[in-house]
Amino acid sequence: MTPPRRSARHPVRVAHLGLGAFHRAHQAWYTQLANDAGGDWGIAAFTGRSPEAARVLSAQDALYTLVERSADGDAPRTIEALSRVHDGAGRAAWRATIADPQVGVLTLTVTEAGYRPGASAAARVLDGLAARHAAGAGGIAVVSCDNLPRNGDVIRDAVLALAAPDAALATWIRTEVAFVSTMVDRITPATTDVDRAEVRRLTGWDDAAPVITEPFTEWVLAGTFPAGRPDWEAGGARFVADIEPFERRKLWLLNAGHSLLAYHGLLRGRTTVAEAVADPALRDELERLWAEQRVGLPFDDAAVEEALAALRDRFANARIEHRLAQIATDGSQKLGPRILDPLRARFAEGRPPGSAQAGVLGAWALHLATTEPGSVRDAGAGDLPARLRDARTPSDRAALVVAALAPDLTERTDLVALIADRIASLQGAHA
Protein backbone atom coordinates (compact mmCIF):
# COMPACT_ATOMS: atom_id res chain seq x y z
CA MET A 1 0.00 0.00 0.00
CA THR A 2 2.99 2.33 -0.47
CA PRO A 3 3.06 5.06 -3.14
CA PRO A 4 4.29 4.12 -6.61
CA ARG A 5 7.84 5.13 -7.49
CA ARG A 6 8.36 8.24 -9.57
CA SER A 7 9.35 7.84 -13.19
CA ALA A 8 10.87 11.35 -13.08
CA ARG A 9 11.29 14.38 -10.87
CA HIS A 10 11.24 17.34 -13.21
CA PRO A 11 13.24 20.46 -12.34
CA VAL A 12 11.10 23.17 -10.76
CA ARG A 13 10.21 25.66 -13.47
CA VAL A 14 6.66 26.52 -12.35
CA ALA A 15 5.59 27.89 -8.97
CA HIS A 16 2.00 27.64 -7.82
CA LEU A 17 -0.02 29.31 -5.05
CA GLY A 18 -3.11 27.47 -3.82
CA LEU A 19 -2.47 23.74 -3.46
CA GLY A 20 -6.05 22.58 -3.68
CA ALA A 21 -7.88 19.86 -5.57
CA PHE A 22 -8.71 22.10 -8.53
CA HIS A 23 -5.06 22.95 -9.21
CA ARG A 24 -4.17 19.27 -9.09
CA ALA A 25 -7.04 18.37 -11.43
CA HIS A 26 -6.35 21.21 -13.85
CA GLN A 27 -3.00 23.02 -14.18
CA ALA A 28 -0.96 20.12 -12.75
CA TRP A 29 -2.80 17.70 -15.08
CA TYR A 30 -2.04 19.90 -18.11
CA THR A 31 1.61 20.11 -17.03
CA GLN A 32 1.71 16.32 -16.64
CA LEU A 33 0.52 15.92 -20.23
CA ALA A 34 3.04 18.52 -21.41
CA ASN A 35 5.80 16.48 -19.73
CA ASP A 36 4.44 13.26 -21.19
CA ALA A 37 4.86 14.93 -24.59
CA GLY A 38 8.55 15.56 -23.92
CA GLY A 39 8.54 18.55 -21.59
CA ASP A 40 10.58 18.98 -18.44
CA TRP A 41 8.57 21.27 -16.16
CA GLY A 42 8.21 20.53 -12.46
CA ILE A 43 5.90 22.46 -10.13
CA ALA A 44 6.70 23.77 -6.65
CA ALA A 45 3.27 24.20 -5.11
CA PHE A 46 2.50 26.27 -2.01
CA THR A 47 -0.63 26.05 0.10
CA GLY A 48 -2.91 29.05 0.44
CA ARG A 49 -4.41 29.01 3.92
CA SER A 50 -4.02 25.61 5.57
CA PRO A 51 -0.73 23.69 5.44
CA GLU A 52 -2.56 20.35 5.50
CA ALA A 53 -2.34 19.58 1.76
CA ALA A 54 1.42 20.09 1.80
CA ARG A 55 1.79 17.86 4.86
CA VAL A 56 -0.22 15.04 3.32
CA LEU A 57 1.39 15.24 -0.11
CA SER A 58 4.92 15.50 1.30
CA ALA A 59 4.39 12.16 3.03
CA GLN A 60 3.80 10.51 -0.37
CA ASP A 61 6.56 12.27 -2.34
CA ALA A 62 4.06 14.77 -3.85
CA LEU A 63 2.49 11.98 -5.92
CA TYR A 64 -1.27 11.58 -6.09
CA THR A 65 -3.95 9.80 -8.06
CA LEU A 66 -6.25 11.70 -10.39
CA VAL A 67 -9.49 9.86 -11.14
CA GLU A 68 -11.54 10.89 -14.14
CA ARG A 69 -15.04 9.85 -13.13
CA SER A 70 -17.54 9.42 -15.94
CA ALA A 71 -20.95 7.82 -16.04
CA ASP A 72 -19.25 4.67 -17.36
CA GLY A 73 -16.57 4.26 -14.71
CA ASP A 74 -13.37 5.54 -13.14
CA ALA A 75 -10.03 6.06 -14.91
CA PRO A 76 -7.16 6.57 -12.42
CA ARG A 77 -3.63 7.74 -13.18
CA THR A 78 -0.69 8.85 -11.07
CA ILE A 79 0.27 12.51 -11.42
CA GLU A 80 3.91 13.43 -10.77
CA ALA A 81 3.98 17.03 -12.08
CA LEU A 82 4.44 18.30 -8.52
CA SER A 83 8.17 18.17 -7.77
CA ARG A 84 7.92 19.91 -4.39
CA VAL A 85 5.11 20.96 -2.07
CA HIS A 86 5.38 23.60 0.64
CA ASP A 87 3.46 25.12 3.50
CA GLY A 88 2.54 28.54 2.13
CA ALA A 89 3.52 30.15 5.42
CA GLY A 90 7.16 29.36 4.64
CA ARG A 91 8.20 32.73 3.29
CA ALA A 92 11.86 31.81 2.70
CA ALA A 93 10.98 28.89 0.42
CA TRP A 94 8.43 31.03 -1.43
CA ARG A 95 10.86 33.86 -2.07
CA ALA A 96 13.66 31.51 -3.09
CA THR A 97 11.42 29.70 -5.55
CA ILE A 98 10.13 32.85 -7.27
CA ALA A 99 13.67 34.26 -7.35
CA ASP A 100 15.03 31.18 -9.13
CA PRO A 101 15.82 32.16 -12.76
CA GLN A 102 14.79 28.65 -13.86
CA VAL A 103 11.21 29.37 -12.70
CA GLY A 104 9.37 31.05 -15.56
CA VAL A 105 5.72 30.73 -14.53
CA LEU A 106 3.73 31.48 -11.36
CA THR A 107 0.17 30.14 -11.42
CA LEU A 108 -2.55 31.01 -8.90
CA THR A 109 -5.77 29.34 -7.77
CA VAL A 110 -7.00 31.61 -5.00
CA THR A 111 -10.72 31.81 -5.97
CA GLU A 112 -12.76 35.00 -6.15
CA ALA A 113 -12.44 35.63 -2.42
CA GLY A 114 -8.66 35.75 -2.74
CA TYR A 115 -8.93 39.03 -4.61
CA ARG A 116 -10.94 40.85 -1.96
CA PRO A 117 -9.37 44.02 -0.56
CA GLY A 118 -7.14 42.92 2.30
CA ALA A 119 -6.76 39.35 1.02
CA SER A 120 -3.20 38.08 1.04
CA ALA A 121 -2.77 36.79 -2.53
CA ALA A 122 -1.53 40.05 -4.04
CA ALA A 123 0.85 40.67 -1.13
CA ARG A 124 2.32 37.18 -1.48
CA VAL A 125 2.77 37.58 -5.22
CA LEU A 126 4.47 40.93 -4.67
CA ASP A 127 6.75 39.43 -2.02
CA GLY A 128 7.90 36.78 -4.46
CA LEU A 129 8.34 39.27 -7.30
CA ALA A 130 10.37 41.57 -5.04
CA ALA A 131 12.74 38.67 -4.33
CA ARG A 132 13.01 37.93 -8.04
CA HIS A 133 13.72 41.59 -8.84
CA ALA A 134 16.41 41.73 -6.15
CA ALA A 135 18.01 38.58 -7.55
CA GLY A 136 18.05 39.93 -11.10
CA ALA A 137 16.34 36.76 -12.27
CA GLY A 138 14.49 38.29 -15.22
CA GLY A 139 10.86 38.26 -16.29
CA ILE A 140 8.15 35.82 -15.31
CA ALA A 141 4.50 35.15 -16.21
CA VAL A 142 1.85 35.33 -13.47
CA VAL A 143 -1.10 33.19 -14.54
CA SER A 144 -4.44 33.53 -12.72
CA CYS A 145 -6.60 30.39 -12.81
CA ASP A 146 -10.02 31.13 -11.28
CA ASN A 147 -13.51 32.34 -12.13
CA LEU A 148 -12.88 36.07 -11.89
CA PRO A 149 -13.28 38.00 -15.17
CA ARG A 150 -10.03 39.50 -16.48
CA ASN A 151 -8.26 37.78 -13.60
CA GLY A 152 -4.80 38.62 -14.92
CA ASP A 153 -5.64 42.33 -15.02
CA VAL A 154 -7.10 42.16 -11.52
CA ILE A 155 -4.03 40.59 -9.92
CA ARG A 156 -1.74 42.92 -11.89
CA ASP A 157 -3.57 46.02 -10.64
CA ALA A 158 -3.59 44.72 -7.07
CA VAL A 159 0.13 43.93 -7.13
CA LEU A 160 1.06 47.28 -8.68
CA ALA A 161 -1.02 49.14 -6.11
CA LEU A 162 0.94 47.47 -3.33
CA ALA A 163 4.24 48.05 -5.15
CA ALA A 164 3.63 51.78 -5.68
CA PRO A 165 5.86 52.97 -2.78
CA ASP A 166 8.85 51.26 -4.42
CA ALA A 167 9.17 52.99 -7.78
CA ALA A 168 11.98 50.77 -9.07
CA LEU A 169 10.12 47.57 -8.23
CA ALA A 170 6.87 48.86 -9.73
CA THR A 171 8.67 49.83 -12.95
CA TRP A 172 10.30 46.40 -13.18
CA ILE A 173 6.93 44.68 -12.70
CA ARG A 174 5.35 46.78 -15.46
CA THR A 175 8.13 46.01 -17.93
CA GLU A 176 9.25 42.46 -17.06
CA VAL A 177 6.26 40.64 -15.54
CA ALA A 178 3.43 39.37 -17.74
CA PHE A 179 0.01 38.89 -16.17
CA VAL A 180 -1.92 36.23 -18.06
CA SER A 181 -5.71 35.97 -17.93
CA THR A 182 -7.28 32.54 -18.25
CA MET A 183 -10.61 30.78 -18.34
CA VAL A 184 -10.50 27.48 -16.46
CA ASP A 185 -13.11 24.74 -16.32
CA ARG A 186 -13.16 21.32 -14.71
CA ILE A 187 -15.70 20.27 -12.09
CA THR A 188 -13.72 18.95 -9.13
CA PRO A 189 -15.74 18.10 -6.01
CA ALA A 190 -14.21 17.71 -2.58
CA THR A 191 -12.70 14.26 -2.05
CA THR A 192 -14.47 12.04 0.48
CA ASP A 193 -13.42 9.04 2.56
CA VAL A 194 -15.48 6.88 0.19
CA ASP A 195 -13.44 8.25 -2.72
CA ARG A 196 -10.19 7.43 -0.92
CA ALA A 197 -11.35 3.88 -0.29
CA GLU A 198 -12.29 3.45 -3.96
CA VAL A 199 -8.89 4.78 -5.07
CA ARG A 200 -7.23 2.26 -2.74
CA ARG A 201 -9.23 -0.50 -4.42
CA LEU A 202 -8.42 0.76 -7.94
CA THR A 203 -4.71 1.43 -7.48
CA GLY A 204 -3.56 -0.79 -4.64
CA TRP A 205 -2.01 2.05 -2.65
CA ASP A 206 -3.31 4.12 0.20
CA ASP A 207 -3.39 7.56 -1.43
CA ALA A 208 -4.34 10.13 1.22
CA ALA A 209 -4.74 12.95 -1.35
CA PRO A 210 -6.49 11.66 -4.48
CA VAL A 211 -8.44 14.02 -6.72
CA ILE A 212 -11.78 13.11 -8.26
CA THR A 213 -12.78 15.05 -11.35
CA GLU A 214 -14.88 14.85 -14.49
CA PRO A 215 -13.45 13.88 -17.89
CA PHE A 216 -14.26 17.30 -19.35
CA THR A 217 -11.64 20.02 -19.03
CA GLU A 218 -10.97 23.36 -20.69
CA TRP A 219 -8.26 26.01 -20.41
CA VAL A 220 -8.12 29.18 -22.49
CA LEU A 221 -5.26 31.64 -21.95
CA ALA A 222 -4.43 35.14 -23.17
CA GLY A 223 -1.03 36.72 -22.53
CA THR A 224 2.71 36.33 -22.99
CA PHE A 225 5.34 34.18 -21.27
CA PRO A 226 8.68 36.00 -21.12
CA ALA A 227 10.53 33.00 -19.65
CA GLY A 228 8.81 30.18 -21.53
CA ARG A 229 6.07 27.79 -20.50
CA PRO A 230 5.04 24.13 -20.68
CA ASP A 231 3.41 22.84 -23.84
CA TRP A 232 -0.03 22.92 -22.29
CA GLU A 233 -1.53 22.50 -25.75
CA ALA A 234 -0.64 18.81 -25.31
CA GLY A 235 -3.63 18.64 -22.96
CA GLY A 236 -5.86 20.76 -25.18
CA ALA A 237 -5.20 24.26 -23.78
CA ARG A 238 -5.88 27.12 -26.21
CA PHE A 239 -4.10 30.46 -26.49
CA VAL A 240 -6.20 33.37 -27.74
CA ALA A 241 -5.88 37.11 -28.23
CA ASP A 242 -9.08 37.94 -26.30
CA ILE A 243 -10.11 35.92 -23.28
CA GLU A 244 -13.30 37.83 -22.49
CA PRO A 245 -15.79 35.92 -24.70
CA PHE A 246 -14.70 32.60 -23.22
CA GLU A 247 -14.83 33.95 -19.65
CA ARG A 248 -18.32 35.27 -20.26
CA ARG A 249 -19.57 31.99 -21.74
CA LYS A 250 -18.33 29.99 -18.76
CA LEU A 251 -19.45 32.44 -16.07
CA TRP A 252 -22.88 33.08 -17.57
CA LEU A 253 -23.72 29.46 -18.36
CA LEU A 254 -21.81 26.98 -16.18
CA ASN A 255 -21.07 29.09 -13.09
CA ALA A 256 -24.42 30.88 -13.10
CA GLY A 257 -26.16 27.52 -13.51
CA HIS A 258 -24.24 26.18 -10.54
CA SER A 259 -25.30 29.14 -8.41
CA LEU A 260 -28.94 28.67 -9.36
CA LEU A 261 -28.86 24.96 -8.52
CA ALA A 262 -27.00 25.63 -5.26
CA TYR A 263 -29.29 28.26 -3.76
CA HIS A 264 -32.58 26.90 -5.09
CA GLY A 265 -31.48 23.31 -4.52
CA LEU A 266 -30.48 23.80 -0.89
CA LEU A 267 -33.87 25.37 -0.21
CA ARG A 268 -35.48 22.23 -1.67
CA GLY A 269 -33.32 19.83 0.33
CA ARG A 270 -31.01 18.77 -2.51
CA THR A 271 -27.36 18.15 -1.76
CA THR A 272 -25.55 17.71 -5.10
CA VAL A 273 -25.69 19.22 -8.58
CA ALA A 274 -26.91 15.93 -10.06
CA GLU A 275 -29.72 15.70 -7.47
CA ALA A 276 -30.73 19.29 -8.16
CA VAL A 277 -30.75 19.01 -11.94
CA ALA A 278 -32.79 15.79 -11.68
CA ASP A 279 -35.55 17.84 -9.97
CA PRO A 280 -37.94 18.84 -12.81
CA ALA A 281 -38.73 22.22 -11.24
CA LEU A 282 -35.06 23.11 -10.87
CA ARG A 283 -34.21 21.79 -14.32
CA ASP A 284 -36.89 24.01 -15.84
CA GLU A 285 -35.64 27.01 -13.85
CA LEU A 286 -32.10 26.30 -15.07
CA GLU A 287 -33.26 26.29 -18.70
CA ARG A 288 -35.05 29.61 -18.14
CA LEU A 289 -31.86 31.08 -16.72
CA TRP A 290 -29.80 29.88 -19.67
CA ALA A 291 -32.35 31.40 -22.08
CA GLU A 292 -31.94 34.76 -20.30
CA GLN A 293 -28.17 34.61 -20.02
CA ARG A 294 -27.37 33.56 -23.60
CA VAL A 295 -28.71 36.82 -25.02
CA GLY A 296 -25.48 38.73 -24.41
CA LEU A 297 -23.00 35.99 -25.35
CA PRO A 298 -20.68 36.72 -28.32
CA PHE A 299 -21.18 33.27 -29.89
CA ASP A 300 -23.60 32.08 -32.54
CA ASP A 301 -26.58 29.92 -31.63
CA ALA A 302 -24.88 26.71 -32.72
CA ALA A 303 -21.88 27.32 -30.45
CA VAL A 304 -24.12 28.17 -27.48
CA GLU A 305 -26.25 25.07 -28.05
CA GLU A 306 -23.12 22.93 -28.17
CA ALA A 307 -21.94 24.41 -24.86
CA LEU A 308 -25.35 23.89 -23.24
CA ALA A 309 -25.58 20.28 -24.44
CA ALA A 310 -22.23 19.57 -22.78
CA LEU A 311 -23.37 21.25 -19.56
CA ARG A 312 -26.57 19.21 -19.42
CA ASP A 313 -24.52 16.01 -19.61
CA ARG A 314 -21.93 17.23 -17.11
CA PHE A 315 -24.50 18.40 -14.54
CA ALA A 316 -26.40 15.10 -14.80
CA ASN A 317 -23.30 12.98 -14.07
CA ALA A 318 -24.45 11.59 -10.72
CA ARG A 319 -21.08 9.93 -10.13
CA ILE A 320 -19.52 13.38 -9.65
CA GLU A 321 -20.86 14.41 -6.25
CA HIS A 322 -20.45 18.16 -6.60
CA ARG A 323 -21.99 19.38 -3.39
CA LEU A 324 -24.27 22.38 -3.42
CA ALA A 325 -22.95 23.62 -0.08
CA GLN A 326 -19.49 23.88 -1.63
CA ILE A 327 -20.82 25.89 -4.58
CA ALA A 328 -22.87 28.15 -2.31
CA THR A 329 -19.83 29.56 -0.48
CA ASP A 330 -18.81 33.19 -1.06
CA GLY A 331 -21.90 34.12 -3.07
CA SER A 332 -21.24 37.80 -2.43
CA GLN A 333 -18.09 37.47 -4.56
CA LYS A 334 -19.49 35.09 -7.18
CA LEU A 335 -22.89 36.51 -8.07
CA GLY A 336 -21.58 39.77 -9.54
CA PRO A 337 -19.89 38.23 -12.59
CA ARG A 338 -22.35 35.34 -12.80
CA ILE A 339 -25.71 37.12 -12.53
CA LEU A 340 -25.34 40.90 -12.17
CA ASP A 341 -23.11 41.36 -15.23
CA PRO A 342 -25.58 39.49 -17.48
CA LEU A 343 -28.35 41.66 -16.03
CA ARG A 344 -26.37 44.79 -16.86
CA ALA A 345 -25.93 43.49 -20.42
CA ARG A 346 -29.70 43.02 -20.72
CA PHE A 347 -30.32 46.54 -19.44
CA ALA A 348 -27.80 47.97 -21.91
CA GLU A 349 -29.85 46.44 -24.73
CA GLY A 350 -33.10 47.83 -23.33
CA ARG A 351 -34.31 44.45 -22.08
CA PRO A 352 -36.12 43.85 -18.76
CA PRO A 353 -34.54 41.80 -15.97
CA GLY A 354 -34.92 38.05 -16.30
CA SER A 355 -37.16 36.20 -13.86
CA ALA A 356 -34.70 33.35 -13.38
CA GLN A 357 -31.83 35.83 -12.88
CA ALA A 358 -33.85 37.57 -10.18
CA GLY A 359 -34.69 34.15 -8.74
CA VAL A 360 -31.03 33.34 -8.15
CA LEU A 361 -30.62 36.58 -6.20
CA GLY A 362 -33.79 35.89 -4.22
CA ALA A 363 -32.73 32.33 -3.42
CA TRP A 364 -29.32 33.63 -2.27
CA ALA A 365 -31.08 36.10 0.03
CA LEU A 366 -33.12 33.30 1.59
CA HIS A 367 -30.02 31.12 1.84
CA LEU A 368 -28.28 33.80 3.90
CA ALA A 369 -31.38 34.58 5.95
CA THR A 370 -32.23 30.98 6.81
CA THR A 371 -28.75 29.55 7.41
CA GLU A 372 -27.84 29.27 11.08
CA PRO A 373 -25.94 32.34 12.31
CA GLY A 374 -22.25 31.54 12.31
CA SER A 375 -22.65 28.86 9.63
CA VAL A 376 -22.73 31.18 6.61
CA ARG A 377 -19.58 30.63 4.55
CA ASP A 378 -19.36 34.05 2.93
CA ALA A 379 -16.88 36.41 4.55
CA GLY A 380 -17.61 39.12 2.00
CA ALA A 381 -21.27 39.28 3.01
CA GLY A 382 -20.41 40.99 6.30
CA ASP A 383 -23.54 41.65 8.35
CA LEU A 384 -25.90 41.14 5.42
CA PRO A 385 -27.22 37.77 6.70
CA ALA A 386 -28.30 39.40 9.98
CA ARG A 387 -29.93 42.31 8.17
CA LEU A 388 -31.76 39.91 5.85
CA ARG A 389 -33.05 37.96 8.85
CA ASP A 390 -34.30 41.18 10.41
CA ALA A 391 -35.95 42.47 7.21
CA ARG A 392 -39.72 42.48 7.47
CA THR A 393 -40.80 42.09 3.85
CA PRO A 394 -39.60 40.51 0.60
CA SER A 395 -39.22 44.05 -0.78
CA ASP A 396 -36.90 44.98 2.07
CA ARG A 397 -34.82 41.88 1.44
CA ALA A 398 -34.67 42.55 -2.29
CA ALA A 399 -33.50 46.11 -1.71
CA LEU A 400 -30.77 44.88 0.65
CA VAL A 401 -29.51 42.37 -1.93
CA VAL A 402 -29.29 44.92 -4.75
CA ALA A 403 -27.63 47.51 -2.50
CA ALA A 404 -25.05 44.95 -1.37
CA LEU A 405 -24.22 43.40 -4.74
CA ALA A 406 -24.96 46.16 -7.27
CA PRO A 407 -25.28 49.70 -5.85
CA ASP A 408 -25.37 50.99 -9.44
CA LEU A 409 -28.68 49.15 -9.95
CA THR A 410 -30.56 50.36 -6.88
CA GLU A 411 -32.64 52.69 -9.09
CA ARG A 412 -33.85 49.75 -11.17
CA THR A 413 -37.15 49.40 -9.40
CA ASP A 414 -38.21 46.70 -11.87
CA LEU A 415 -35.28 44.53 -10.75
CA VAL A 416 -35.95 45.10 -7.05
CA ALA A 417 -39.64 44.33 -7.52
CA LEU A 418 -38.91 41.15 -9.47
CA ILE A 419 -36.46 39.90 -6.83
CA ALA A 420 -39.08 40.65 -4.17
CA ASP A 421 -41.68 38.64 -6.11
CA ARG A 422 -39.29 35.71 -6.41
CA ILE A 423 -38.43 35.87 -2.69
CA ALA A 424 -42.14 35.87 -1.81
CA SER A 425 -42.83 32.86 -4.04
CA LEU A 426 -39.83 30.98 -2.66
CA GLN A 427 -40.89 31.73 0.91
CA GLY A 428 -44.36 30.42 0.12
CA ALA A 429 -43.03 27.27 -1.49
CA HIS A 430 -40.69 26.47 1.41
CA ALA A 431 -42.80 27.67 4.34
Per-residue pLDDT tens for 163-189? Answer: 999 999 999 999 999 999 999 999 999
Q: Which CATH superfamily is domain 245-429 in?
A: N-(1-d-carboxylethyl)-l-norvaline Dehydrogenase; domain 2 (1.10.1040.10)
- Helices 301-316 and 256-267, axial angle in degrees (round to 10): 40
User: Checking DSSP bridges between strand 64-70 and strand 211-213, what pairing results, if any?
Assistant: parallel
105, 135, 157, 184, 245 from 177: Cα distances, Å? 10, 14, 12, 21, 24
Please give the order of strands across the beta sheet that includes 42-46. 82-86, 42-46, 12-17, 105-108, 140-144, 177-185, 218-222, 238-239
CATH topology match: 12-242 vs 245-429: no
Asked whether residue 4 carries a pLDDT value surpassing 90, the answer given is: no
- Quick one: DSSP state of residue 60? T
**What are the two backbone dihedrals, phi and then psi, of residue 171, each rounded to the nearest 5 degrees?**
-65, -40
Q: Could you tell me if 372 and 391 are in contact, meaning their C-beta atoms sit under 8 angstroms apart?
A: no
Please identify, in words, the CATH class of the domain defined by 12-242: alpha beta
Q: CA neighbours within 13 Å on the CB side: how many for 213?
A: 24
Predicted confidence (pLDDT) at residue 18 exceeds the cutoff of 80: yes
- Per-residue confidence at 118, pLDDT binned at 50, 70, 90? low
Q: Place 48 in a pLDDT band, splitting at 50, 70 and 90.
A: confident
- Percent of the residues in the chain that have a pLDDT greater than 70, as a whole number: 98
Averaged confidence pLDDT in the chain: 95
pTM of the model: 0.90
Closest CA to 248 of 392, 345, 141, 347: 345
pLDDT digits (tens, 9 = 90+) for 264-290: 999 999 999 999 999 999 999 999 999
Q: In the prediction, which pLDDT does 117 show?
A: 64
Cα-trace Rg, the chain: 22
Model confidence at 322: pLDDT above 80: yes
| Residue extents of the structural domains in the chain | 12-242, 245-429
Contact of 67 with 211, CB cutoff 8 Å: yes
* Residue among 204, 117, 113, 126 nearest 165 (CA): 126
Segment holding 276, helix H or strand E: helix 273-277
The pLDDT of residue 258 is above 70 = yes
DSSP state of 208: S
